[in-house]
Structure formats: structure tokens, C-alpha cells
Amino acid sequence: MREPIKYLFLRELRKIFKEAKNAGISVVEIRASDLAERAGKKYRIPACCNAMRSIMTDKDQEILRPTVQKDSTTNIYRYDLSGR
């Protein structure tokens, strides 16, 4: 059985978080298109954005351009890694 697409994105996010923390970085910004490409699913932006939102805490932020709707390749997600 294939792994649900959401978990592919979450696994990549966790790798990014780990790499950043190992480098001493406390906040990361990730563009949806970059995560989708890294996960090998560059055409699955709605699923990518949903996965990115699902892992957010109160300290994190979704940055949208004013002219863009909810799920876009240009969405940027800022994650505060302290406490993760």
C-alpha cells in the first residue's frame, strides 16, 4: 500500500527541521513549491500546503501574497523550531 501523500511532505518537513536545528537555526521559512519539489511531488501543491499547515503551532506563520488564494506554490511557511 502506498504512503498517503501528506506523510511524504511531513517526512520532508521533519528532515528540514532536523537539518536546521543541527545547524543552530531556530526559524526556517519554506516555500510550498520547494517542499513539493524536494518530496518529488511538485504538482501536488494543495496536499503540500495542507501538510505544511497541519504541522504548524501557534508560533508559526503562513505567509500569503495578497493576490494569491489559499494553496499556491508561492506560499511561504515560517516555522519556529524552539520547542520542537
Report the first-to-last Cα separation within the chain, whole angstroms.
Answer: 30
- What is the extent of the structural domain holding 17? 5-80
For 12-48, what is each residue's pLDDT tens digit? 999 999 999 999 999 999 999 999 999 988 778 999 9
- How many structural domains is the chain composed of? 1
The DSSP symbol for 40 reads T
pLDDT, position 17: 98
For 38-77, what is each residue's pLDDT tens digit? 998 877 899 999 999 999 999 999 988 777 778 888 999 9
CA dist list (Å): 23 to 16, 40, 73: 11, 24, 26
Can you tell me which residue has the cell 520547542? Answer: 83
Question: What's the predicted TM-score (pTM) here?
Answer: 0.88
